[in-house]
């Protein structure tokens, strides 16, 4: 081969080599980034080319897909629809052609669209038979009746708030309600005249009530007196007291350590030297503040962390971490131990507290997806309950159950009573705002089970009622009736 031809051959070989390198770079190195690039519209077209799988509650779908009208401006074949979307959006999130997806719609997008690797075999069969690709289903642990009771209760109060119900024995989430809420169907498409306007209207800057905030998982509140359940658990676990009926040697007034400030009790309740059962029944700040100060910040923090404080939870939707402060003096420890100072918690976290007590001291990891299914209803994955921690011994948990039951039978939680059912609870009226200027939050945490111990349920409810008179706001008055209805809904569904 003469010299000019050899040079041309080498040059052409280098071009082919460069082409092969570029091709492999795009196909293997850049594949994921190109696939997920927001400018890659083909991914979205594929996502909405077929109906999405469904999110299932009680064996029935709460989602659907609707064929869109052919339009030169819309190349998506299907859009998402929702049944009772406002009630279920804290669970489902949304899937919007214009604004993406959140929560279960996002986390399980691969299953719902049929693109997940777990569906490879099913998709291969469909391709060979010429069948259109179908998405799989996400089967939840939610209880429809409990969710309706929670949402309707919050809506009837008319303020802002959230409610969470758990199965203490498994950690399965039975209700997850937030109010006010939104209907994901209102912006499921990509119309600039309909969907974009609906989306804009729901944003916090345009709606101060912030309806798209998932208050059950993503908002933290001062827990007020409901945190006294954690403090009582710490007292029992650390041997400060060994029974519910042992005198606590608590003075009235109790002066916050290293200060001259008394920790006041509500009204004229009698708290001097009462036992923990009575202190929880009437909600004595002085008793539980002194317990926190006596135990110290390290023991209180350790107990709070056993209940899940200071850790994010993934259910699989992310729940923000609740907070029990690490840097405190004795006075701050006393305040934190009655749910004040910097203590802040999600409704999910307080449901976990009630759940651990109800389950004889064993805290189960909360979850809301029971299983993932293929379009042919074959089970792909099944969630197995997992133990998260042991905040209490069985003996101490049963002592605390008895104390919480006294709160409902004779104390501040009587509106949660259910005939022929063992119900335990704790009310809370949490102060907030600068110098406690804001209207307090009404809390109630509780558990219920039949006399034989079967069909247990744990619930946490928080209500922000800006329209109520300050003196009318109480956990027993606003939140306890909602919790009662949720517990009844779960118990009745088991019959």
Residue 69 burial (CB count, 10 A)? 6
* Dist. CA 355–CA 233, nearest whole Å: 13
Please name the residues in contact with 458: beta carbons below 8 A apart, sequence gap of 6 or more. 165, 166, 167, 168, 351, 352, 354, 355, 357, 358, 445, 446, 447
Catalytic-labelled residue, pool 65, 96, 178, 225: 225
64 half-sphere exposure, CB direction, 13 A CA radius: 10
* Dist. CA 219–CA 213, nearest whole Å: 8
Q: Does 337 participate in catalysis according to the annotation?
A: no
* Dist. CA 480–CA 488, nearest whole Å: 12
Instruction: Sheet with 457-464: list strands edge to edge.
Output: 173-179, 160-166, 457-464, 438-449, 422-432
Query: Cα dihedral angle (63, 65, 66, 68), rounded to 10 degrees?
Result: 130
Q: Which two tokens stand for residue 168?
A: 């203490």
What b/e string do you get for 186-220 counting C-beta neighbours within 10 Å, with b at 16 or more? bbbbbbeeebeebbeebeeeeeeeebbbbbbbbbb
Please name the residues in contact with 76: beta carbons below 8 A apart, sequence gap of 6 or more. 44, 45, 48, 49, 68, 97, 189, 190
Q: Which two tokens stand for residue 397?
A: 């948990």
**Alpha-carbon distances of 474 from 93, 157, 198, 236, 413, rounded to whole Å:** 31, 12, 35, 27, 10
* Dist. CA 400–CA 411, nearest whole Å: 15
Residues with a catalytic annotation lie at 225
């Amino acid at each position: 081969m003469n010299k000019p031809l050899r040079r041309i051959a080498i040059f052409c070989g280098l071009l082919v080599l460069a082409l092969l390198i570029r091709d492999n770079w795009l196909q293997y190195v850049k594949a994921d980034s190109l696939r997920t690039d927001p400018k890659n519209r083909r991914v979205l077209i594929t996502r909405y080319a077929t109906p999405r799988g469904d999110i299932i509650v009680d064996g029935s779908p709460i989602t659907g897909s609707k064929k869109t009208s052919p339009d030169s401006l819309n190349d998506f074949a299907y859009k998402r629809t929702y049944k009772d979307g406002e009630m279920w959006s804290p669970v489902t999130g949304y899937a919007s052609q214009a604004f993406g997806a959140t929560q279960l719609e996002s986390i399980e997008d691969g299953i719902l669209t049929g693109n997940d690797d777990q569906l490879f075999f099913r998709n291969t069969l469909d391709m060979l038979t010429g069948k259109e690709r179908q998405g799989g289903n996400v089967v939840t642990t939610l209880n429809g009746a409990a969710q309706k009771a929670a949402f309707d209760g919050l809506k009837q109060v008319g303020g802002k708030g959230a409610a969470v119900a758990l199965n203490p024995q498994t950690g399965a989430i039975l209700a997850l309600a937030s109010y006010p809420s939104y209907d994901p169907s209102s912006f499921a498409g990509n119309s600039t005249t309909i969907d974009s306007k609906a989306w804009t209207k729901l944003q916090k800057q345009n709606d101060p009530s912030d309806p798209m905030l998932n208050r059950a998982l993503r908002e933290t509140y001062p827990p007020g007196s409901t945190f006294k359940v954690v403090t009582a658990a710490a007292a029992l676990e650390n041997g400060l007291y060994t029974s519910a009926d042992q005198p606590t040697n608590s003075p009235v007034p109790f002066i916050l350590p290293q200060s001259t400030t008394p920790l006041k009790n509500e009204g004229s309740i009698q708290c001097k030297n009462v036992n923990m059962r009575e202190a929880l029944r009437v909600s004595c700040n002085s008793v539980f503040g002194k317990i926190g100060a006596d135990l110290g910040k390290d023991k209180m923090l350790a107990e709070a962390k056993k209940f899940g404080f200071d850790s994010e939870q993934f259910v699989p939707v992310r729940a923000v971490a609740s907070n029990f402060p690490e840097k405190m003096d004795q006075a701050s420890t006393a305040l934190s131990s009655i749910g004040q100072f910097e203590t802040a918690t999600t409704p999910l976290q307080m449901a976990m507290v009630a759940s651990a007590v109800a389950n004889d001291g064993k805290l189960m990891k909360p979850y809301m997806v029971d299983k993932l299914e293929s379009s042919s209803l074959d089970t792909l994955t099944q969630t197995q309950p997992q133990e998260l921690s042991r905040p209490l011994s069985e003996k101490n948990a049963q002592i605390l159950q008895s104390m919480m039951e006294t709160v409902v039978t004779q104390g501040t939680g009587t509106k949660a009573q259910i005939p022929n059912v063992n119900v335990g609870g704790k009310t809370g009226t949490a102060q907030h705002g600068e110098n406690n200027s804001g209207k307090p939050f009404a809390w109630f945490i509780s558990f219920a089970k039949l006399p034989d111990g079967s069909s247990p349920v744990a619930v946490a409810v928080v209500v922000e009622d800006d329209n109520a008179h300050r003196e009318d706001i109480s956990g027993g008055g606003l939140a306890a009736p909602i919790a009662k209805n949720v517990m009844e809904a779960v118990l009745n569904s088991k019959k």
